[in-house]
Structure 1
Amino acid sequence: MVSSGQTYIITNKKAGTACDLSGQDQKSVIGFTAQRSDNQKWRAQDTGNGWTLQNIYNQKYLDVEGPLQNGTKVVAVDTNNPRTWDIRPDRNDNSAYRVFIHDSNLNVDLSDRGNPTPGTPVTIWGEWEGENQVWRFEQV
């Protein structure tokens, strides 16, 4: 269960890579080998109308860059009005979650069907049964 105010390492169920704020541009969100560094730590906050996810390293919030459609990249942005997400248990594995754009069927997806290669972009994509859209939240 995800708890408000707690910090998590978020790893992809299929690839095992962590949701990582890229050290190259401090904006791109990628799958990367789990190292438990601050750029892989995300604070979950329940807003009452969804969740925000804030990176511990630079305090930027999880968002998207571009239109709300398949393939749009997930990024971290500095904002006073962070995007809200719906964090829902996966239907096939109640120990893991899907992270949806609030009130939509678009969820966080590790690209290339869950490619485990470090640096694989994290995007949004319409929900399907792929485990590359399923994430584990490990409290740190």
Structure 2
Amino acid sequence: MGLENGHYRIVNAHSGTAIDASGTDEGVVHGWERHDGSNQHWIVSENDGKWEIRNVAFGLFLRPASENHSDIHDGTELIISDSPYGWHVYEDEDDDTYRWASYPYIWLGIQARR
């Protein structure tokens, strides 16, 4: 079954930390211990073949800090912004985790909040 529009939690597959939109620093996103706050929940919606990820607490979109695609690589800083960003989704066939890919390669894992 493919990804559906809805509310999700994005979790680091290795550390188990959640992608957390900071409540104190505008635009800052980091990995944080899971606490189920609205700043760790994301609305994922399909738009023209790509997926947008909007933070529940702040209503801002998850995106790479750089606007230049040639600067985007594994380890690139992520921020929340009022500018949407189109993520490509690749389903993990081994479990219910999805992998998000941005050009050239930023990988995120996602777990359904159900």
- TM-score, scaled to structure 1: 0.69
Q: Deviations over 1:35-62 (max 9, x none)?
A: 1101001000011321000001110001
Q: How does 1:1-140 map to 2 (within 5 A)?
A: 1-4=2-5, 6-66=6-66, 67-79=71-83, 82-90=84-92, 93-101=94-102, 104-108=103-107, 133=108, 135-140=109-114
RMSD across aligned C-alpha pairs, in angstroms? 1.8
* Count of aligned pairs: 109
Equivalent AA in structure 1 for residue 87 of structure 2: W
Distance 1:68 1:136, change over 3 A: closer
C-alpha contact 2:19 2:40 (8 A) present in aligned 1: yes
1:62 is paired with a residue whose SS is strand
**Higher relative contact order, structure no. (Cα contacts within 8 Å, ≥ 6 residues apart):** 1
1:39 is paired with a residue whose SS is helix
Identity %: 25
Q: Distance in 1 between matches of 2:29 and 2:76?
A: 12
Q: Which runs of no fewer than 5 residues in structure 2 stay unpaired?
A: none
Distance 1:70 1:54, change over 3 A: same
Q: Which runs of no fewer than 5 residues in structure 1 stay unpaired?
A: 109-132
Equivalent AA in structure 2 for residue 27 of structure 1: G
Q: Deviations over 1:66-102 (max 9, x none)?
A: 23234321110012xx1100121235x332121111x
Distance 1:73 1:87, change over 3 A: same
